[in-house]
Structure 1
Amino acid sequence: MDENIVIMLKRIGRVCRPLLAIALALTLALAPIGAVWARSGGRIGGGSFRSPTFSAPRSIGPHYSAPVYPSYGGGFGFPLLVPFFWGGGGGGLLTLLLLVGAGSFLVQTLRSGIRSEEGDDSIGVRDPQVTVAQVKVGLLASARQLQKDMNALALEADTQSPEGLSQLLQEVTLGLMRYSDYWAYGHAQADRLPLSRAESLFYQASLQERSKFSVESLSNRNNQIQQVSQAALQRSAAGIPDVGEYLLVTLLVAYRGNLGTLPVVNSMADLRQCLLQLASIPADRIVAIEVLWTPQLEGDTLSAEALLTEYPEMRLL
Structure 2
Amino acid sequence: MDENIVNMLKHIGRVCRPLLAIALALILALAPLGAVWARSGGRIGGGSFRSPTFSAPRSIGPHYSAPVYPSYGGGFGFPLLVPFFWGGGGGLLTLLLLIGAGSFLVQTLRSAASSEEGDDSIGVRDPQVTVAQVKVGLLASARQLQKDMNALALEADTQSPEGLSQLLQEVTLGLMRYSDYWAYGHAQADRLPLSRAESLFYQASLQERSKFSIESLSNRNNQIQQVSQAALQRSAAGIPDIGEYLVVTLLVAYRGNLGTLPVVNSMADLRQCLLQLASIPADRIVAIEVLWTPQLEGDTLSAEALLTEYPEMRLL
With structure 1 as the length reference, what TM-score do the two structures score?
0.80
Describe the superposition over 1:172-229 as per-residue Cα deviations: whole angstroms up to 9, x where unpaired. Answer: 1111011111101000011112222222211111111111111110001111110001
- Is the 1:29–1:241 contact (alpha carbons within 8 Å) kept by the matching residues of 2? no
- Is the 1:33–1:303 contact (alpha carbons within 8 Å) kept by the matching residues of 2? no
Cα deviation, residue 105, structure 1: 1.2
**Which stretches in structure 2 are left out of the alignment for 5+ residues?**
none
Determine helix, strand or coil for the equivalent of 1:244: coil
- Is the 2:129–2:254 contact (alpha carbons within 8 Å) kept by the matching residues of 1? yes
Describe the superposition over 1:228-279 as per-residue Cα deviations: whole angstroms up to 9, x where unpaired. Answer: 0125657989999854211000001111221111111000000000001111
Determine helix, strand or coil for the equivalent of 2:79: helix
Cα deviation, residue 58, structure 1: 3.4
Distance 1:51 1:274, change over 3 A: same
Q: Distance in 1 between matches of 2:220 and 2:114?
A: 42
Q: Distance in 1 between matches of 2:3 and 2:106?
A: 114
- Give the percent of matched residue pairs that are identical in Structure 1 and Structure 2: 97
Distance 1:68 1:245, change over 3 A: farther
Distance 1:64 1:159, change over 3 A: farther
- Is the 1:138–1:248 contact (alpha carbons within 8 Å) kept by the matching residues of 2? yes
Distance 1:303 1:215, change over 3 A: same
Residue 96 (structure 1) aligns with:
95
- Is the 2:201–2:251 contact (alpha carbons within 8 Å) kept by the matching residues of 1? yes
Cα deviation, residue 81, structure 1: 8.9
Cα deviation, residue 89, structure 1: 3.0
- Is the 1:173–1:279 contact (alpha carbons within 8 Å) kept by the matching residues of 2? yes
Q: Distance in 2 between matches of 1:66 and 1:11?
A: 106
Of 229-238 and 28-37, more deviation after overlay is shown by 28-37
Residue 152 (structure 2) aligns with:
153
Cα deviation, residue 305, structure 1: 1.2
Q: Distance in 2 between matches of 1:68 and 1:124?
A: 41
Distance 1:294 1:287, change over 3 A: same
Of 178-187 and 101-110, more deviation after overlay is shown by 101-110
What is the aligned length?
316
Distance 1:57 1:2, change over 3 A: closer
Distance 1:183 1:116, change over 3 A: same
Distance 1:314 1:76, change over 3 A: farther
Describe the superposition over 1:266-294 as per-residue Cα deviations: whole angstroms up to 9, x where unpaired. Answer: 00000000001111111222111110000
Distance 1:184 1:256, change over 3 A: same
Residue 50 (structure 1) aligns with:
50
Of 98-107 and 28-37, more deviation after overlay is shown by 28-37
Cα deviation, residue 9, structure 1: 11
Cα deviation, residue 62, structure 1: 8.0
Q: Distance in 1 between matches of 2:96 and 2:32?
A: 90
Aligned pairs (5 A) from 1:103-182: 103-182=102-181
Cα deviation, residue 49, structure 1: 1.6
With structure 2 as the length reference, what TM-score do the two structures score?
0.80
- Is the 1:138–1:186 contact (alpha carbons within 8 Å) kept by the matching residues of 2? yes
Residue 261 (structure 1) aligns with:
260
Q: Distance in 2 between matches of 1:143 and 1:166?
A: 24
Q: Distance in 2 between matches of 1:136 and 1:73?
A: 86
Cα deviation, residue 55, structure 1: 2.4
Distance 1:179 1:7, change over 3 A: same
Cα deviation, residue 91, structure 1: 3.9
Of 203-212 and 224-233, more deviation after overlay is shown by 224-233
- Is the 2:243–2:300 contact (alpha carbons within 8 Å) kept by the matching residues of 1? yes
Distance 1:29 1:226, change over 3 A: closer
Distance 1:160 1:79, change over 3 A: same
Distance 1:17 1:132, change over 3 A: closer
Distance 1:226 1:242, change over 3 A: same
- Is the 1:66–1:107 contact (alpha carbons within 8 Å) kept by the matching residues of 2? no
Of 40-49 and 58-67, more deviation after overlay is shown by 58-67
Q: Distance in 2 between matches of 1:45 and 1:19?
A: 46
Determine helix, strand or coil for the equivalent of 2:234: coil
Deviating runs (4+, > 3 A) in structure 1?
1-38, 60-86, 91-96, 231-243
Cα deviation, residue 163, structure 1: 1.5
Cα deviation, residue 63, structure 1: 8.0
Two-structure CA RMSD over aligned residues (Å): 5.1
Distance 1:223 1:81, change over 3 A: same
Determine helix, strand or coil for the equivalent of 2:27: helix
Q: Distance in 1 between matches of 2:270 and 2:184?
A: 9
- Is the 1:56–1:126 contact (alpha carbons within 8 Å) kept by the matching residues of 2? no
Distance 1:77 1:152, change over 3 A: farther
Residue 192 (structure 2) aligns with:
193
- Is the 1:33–1:39 contact (alpha carbons within 8 Å) kept by the matching residues of 2? no
